[in-house]
Amino acid sequence: MATPNKPVTAKTKPATLVGRPRGSSKEDTIARLLPAARQLFAEKGYAQTTFKDVGAAIGISHAALYSYFPAKLDLYLATLADTQALLLPRYLDAIASGGSLREQIVGVLLASADAHDCDSSITGLLAAVPIEIRRHPELNQALNGQNNDVMDALKGIFAEAKQSGEIQTEASLDNLVTAFLGGGVGVALFQYGLQSSGSLREAMDVYVTMIEGLIFRAE
């Protein structure tokens, strides 16, 4: 199991890093810590990100992080949950605003793009989760069986569409969500990997046009 480095001693503790800042609450520190961790996990991956990296990013010693998270696994899980919580309200708003499944899908895709344009590390972290799970069995074990509100919301709209007859397919809900998410995440991840300065919203508009079958001129 991957674990963070051992706490540094007083002799090795860098002079530029401090413990918990005076007057700061645990909630305030975590509010700064999780976005920094998301950025690092997105850019460096789970294995290469250390408590030292995260501590340095917010100006505290990595030893001080143990008062918030006992291990890197706990920090990763908290970062993942926090990131999903950023997306869920956007998704729920898009679902509530759309009448048909098509409108809901388009709304969710564009909501994802807007979130990415605000903070691309959201894409970097979430898109890498399936690979991280394969590489690190402890992540798979920790995440297995946990509720995923984002996935549940998406399965819900596909289930309703199948029941109402809006879509007719024998595909399972898992495969429908996988195909839907895989396409949208692929567009976002490609732009993230290229470090494109353009707006993901513009690229996602093209993808939406493709899935609606409107990109090709009628013959």
| CATH for 112 | 1.10.357.10
Q: What integer pLDDT is reported at residue 214 of this predicted model?
A: 74
Q: What integer pLDDT is reported at residue 3 of this predicted model?
A: 43
Q: What integer pLDDT is reported at residue 8 of this predicted model?
A: 36
Q: What integer pLDDT is reported at residue 93 of this predicted model?
A: 93
Q: Which amino acid is at 203?
A: A
C-alpha radius of gyration, the chain, whole number: 20
The answer as to whether 193 is a domain residue is yes
Task: Give burial (CB, 10 Å; 0-12/13-18/19+) of 28.
Answer: exposed
Containing domain of residue 33, as a range? 26-211
The answer as to whether 203 is a domain residue is yes
* Angstrom distance (rounded) from CA 165 to CA 115: 31
Task: Give burial (CB, 10 Å; 0-12/13-18/19+) of 118.
Answer: exposed
The domain total for the chain is 1
Q: What integer pLDDT is reported at residue 44 of this predicted model?
A: 95
Q: What is the mean pLDDT of each run of 10 residues along the chain (219 residues)?
A: 40 37 73 96 96 94 91 96 92 90 91 92 92 93 83 89 88 90 88 83 90 76
The answer as to whether 4 is a domain residue is no
The answer as to whether 104 is a domain residue is yes
Q: List strand residue ranges (DSSP E) for 102-181, in order.
A: none
Q: What integer pLDDT is reported at residue 137 of this predicted model?
A: 93
The answer as to whether 178 is a domain residue is yes
